[in-house]
Amino acid sequence: MRIVAISGSLRADSLNTRLAHAAAGLVPAGVEIEVVTLQDIPLYDEDLRSEGWPAAVTTLGERIADADGVLIATPEYNYSISGVLKNALDWLSRLSSAPLAGKPTAIMSASPGMFGGVRAQDHLRQILFGLDARVLTRPQVIVNLAADKFQEDGSLSDSMAVELMRKLMEALTRAGGDKDAINVQQTRPRWEPARARAVGGIRGAGQV
């Protein structure tokens, strides 16, 4: 089983690249995970594309196509994803192989701010919907105040985030191994039991 982890940041000391590497250390046994960055992807230009696909784009597309699942660690820039990541997704969306279509995909984010990139994740989900990726819905991995949470050895000191990352990587592995298993057996949101009771009540009354 192979997973490609994409960091949406170019900078050498990126929190999100560190997050992707931390996730790589949490995959179940037997899963290979490769962290990739987007340094070589040129700015999308239809003229450039018509001259021939840039090698970095086709290579990334092939890596994704060959993988069983994809992980994207996104920075938050002005309440959205980085331009670098959007640019790469735009290129990938134009490949005739549509490497992300139907691909089990997990997302996470790290930010030094209070909200941990959650707004970028919302935008990323929307974009991935356009690419027909099969985005896992939970657990949601949002690492806030992240500048102080990575140790020298790259590990993450936020034990709750680590636990959620482990669960997310397990869910991605399950989804990658069984394409029908997506979103099965993931953690439930805290409000789900209450909602289930309410629905049961309505059914009991014969209204549904």
By the rule CB under 6 A, 79 interacts with ligand FMN:
yes
Residues 56-75: x where in contact with ligand FMN by CB under 6 A, - otherwise, as a string: -------------------x
Q: Say whether 19 sits in a helix, a strand or coil.
A: helix
> With the CA atoms of 75, 17, 73 and 144 taken in that order, what torsion angle do they form, in degrees rounded to the nearest 10?
-60
Note whether 16 binds ligand FMN by CB under 6 A: yes
Which helix (H) or strand (E) segment is 51 a member of? helix 46-51
* 186 near ligand FMN (CB under 6 A): no
Q: Of 105 and 109, which has the nearer Cβ to ligand FMN? A: 109
**Judged by CB, which is closer to ligand FMN: 82, or 173?**
82
Please, are residues 186 and 141 in contact by the beta-carbon 8 Å criterion?
Answer: no
Euclidean distance between CA atoms 126 and 23, whole angstroms: 23
Regarding 121 and contact with ligand FMN (CB under 6 A), the answer is no
Rounded CA gap, 196 and 12, in Å? Answer: 46
Judged by CB under 6 A, does residue 15 bind ligand FMN? yes
Owner of token pair 């970028």? 120
- Find the binder of ligand FMN among 78, 96, 159, 207 (CB under 6 A): 78
Query: CB of residue 10 vs ligand FMN: minimum separation in angstroms?
Result: 8
For ligand FMN, which is the closer residue by CB, 3 or 108? 108
Distance CA 17, CA 13 (A): 8
Which stretches of the chain bind ligand FMN, using CB under 6 A?
9, 11, 14-16, 75-79, 111-113, 115, 117
